[in-house]
């Protein structure tokens, strides 16, 4: 069975799968094609076992498909897997034989979505504790510098994991107190530079004073290696799931929760007036955390009206 490295697999997805989607069905609008690509890349980054090589049949292991579809709640996740399967079974490639194609397709279609759990948000008190009172053990010297950095990139800059690990040294301008908004690479309507407030500046400067590197090198380094999709949240989990910290918080901490909590807190504090600011940073394309926070805010406003 032919095997492929994870990096080559990602290249294949972003080039060959992207081209396949563009030519296979011209009725697919660009936004949907982009979402399919994000879905498959998410599958590779979060659900494939840590392995240098993988073959295409094990790519579609039933337990991986199940976990992905149970957690990836967007409406395109199932279709993204099916389309990627069709590409691999196409006459040009034949990476998947016909018998396996029908078996895998049946698996994709048969996995049932689990009911959505109610989304949880961090409170303002949680955020205050995270930023100013986090308890670090004497052994967590690296965590003491890296955790505030990840928190401020997620909460203040609204960066998701892929933004954090793609950030380069030359994207951070300490003297000018600003960080480049990586969303500007594919959406020029958003702000290109994001200003650091005093807290963010102090956190980022402290990190830069400790870790140095070439201008084109990855900015966030975790345990001597460039940050990855997995290690960013793993760092937060390691700190905030400790008994001391967890007992002081209303919920767990991860990048997605920090982003949507920041948006919700700002919407509450400005009576919704800050919404345009978030569009200027995140763009008008669909963003799950922005949608989640806005939905929660509007639901709260509706509840207030009904109770008055």
pLDDT tens for 199-231 read: 999 999 999 998 877 888 999 999 889 998 889
- State the pLDDT at residue 285: 82
Which of 36, 55, 39 has its CA nearest to residue 47?
39
Which of 181, 145, 142, 185 has its CA nearest to residue 164?
181
Say if CB 278 and CB 290 are below 8 A apart. yes
Say if CB 199 and CB 159 are below 8 A apart. no
Residues 84, 249: Cα–Cα separation, whole Å: 41
Please report the beta strands in the chain, taking only residues with DSSP state E, as ranges in sequence order. 3-5, 53-55, 172-173, 178-180, 193-195, 221-222, 225-226
Give me the residues paired with residue 222 across strands: 225
232 CB neighbour count, 10 Å cutoff: 25
pLDDT confidence band for 55 (50 / 70 / 90): confident
Residues 209, 213: Cα–Cα separation, whole Å: 11
Give me the residues paired with residue 226 across strands: 221
* Contacts made by residues 193-202, CB under 8 angstroms, sequence distance 24+: 194/156, 194/157, 194/281, 196/156, 197/156, 199/131, 199/152, 199/156, 200/152, 200/156, 200/157, 201/174, 201/177
pTM for this structure?
0.67
pLDDT tens for 80-110 read: 999 999 998 887 888 888 888 899 999 998 8
270 CB neighbour count, 10 Å cutoff: 11
User: 158 is written with which tokens?
Assistant: 């609204």
């Amino acid at each position: 069975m032919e095997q492929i490295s994870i990096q080559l697999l990602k290249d294949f997805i972003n080039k060959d799968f992207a081209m396949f989607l563009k030519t296979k069905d011209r009725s697919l609008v660009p936004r949907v094609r982009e979402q399919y690509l994000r879905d498959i890349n998410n599958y590779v980054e979060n659900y494939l076992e840590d392995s240098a090589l993988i073959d295409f049949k094990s790519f579609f292991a039933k337990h991986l498909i199940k976990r992905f579809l149970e957690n990836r709640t967007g409406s395109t996740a199932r279709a993204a897997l099916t389309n990627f399967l069709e590409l691999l079974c196409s006459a040009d490639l034949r990476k998947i034989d016909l018998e396996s194609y029908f078996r895998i397709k049946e698996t994709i279609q048969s996995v049932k979505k689990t009911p959505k759990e109610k989304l949880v948000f961090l409170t303002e008190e949680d955020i205050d504790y995270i930023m100013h009172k986090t308890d670090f053990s004497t052994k967590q010297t690296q965590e003491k510098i890296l955790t505030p950095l990840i928190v401020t990139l997620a909460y203040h800059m609204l960066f998701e994991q892929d933004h954090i690990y793609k950030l380069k040294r030359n994207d951070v301008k300490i003297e000018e107190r600003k960080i480049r908004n990586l969303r500007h690479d594919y959406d020029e309507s958003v702000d290109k530079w994001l200003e650091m407030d005093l807290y963010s500046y102090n956190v980022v400067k402290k990190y830069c004073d400790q870790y140095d590197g070439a201008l084109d090198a990855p900015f966030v380094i975790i345990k001597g290696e460039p940050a990855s999709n997995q290690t960013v949240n793993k760092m937060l989990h390691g700190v905030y799931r400790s008994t001391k910290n967890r007992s002081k918080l209303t919920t767990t901490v991860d990048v997605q929760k920090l982003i949507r909590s920041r948006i919700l807190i700002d919407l509450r504090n400005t009576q919704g007036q800050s919404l345009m600011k978030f569009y200027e940073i995140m763009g008008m394309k669909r963003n799950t955390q922005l949608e989640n926070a806005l939905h929660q805010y509007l639901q709260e406003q509706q509840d207030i009206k009904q109770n008055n």
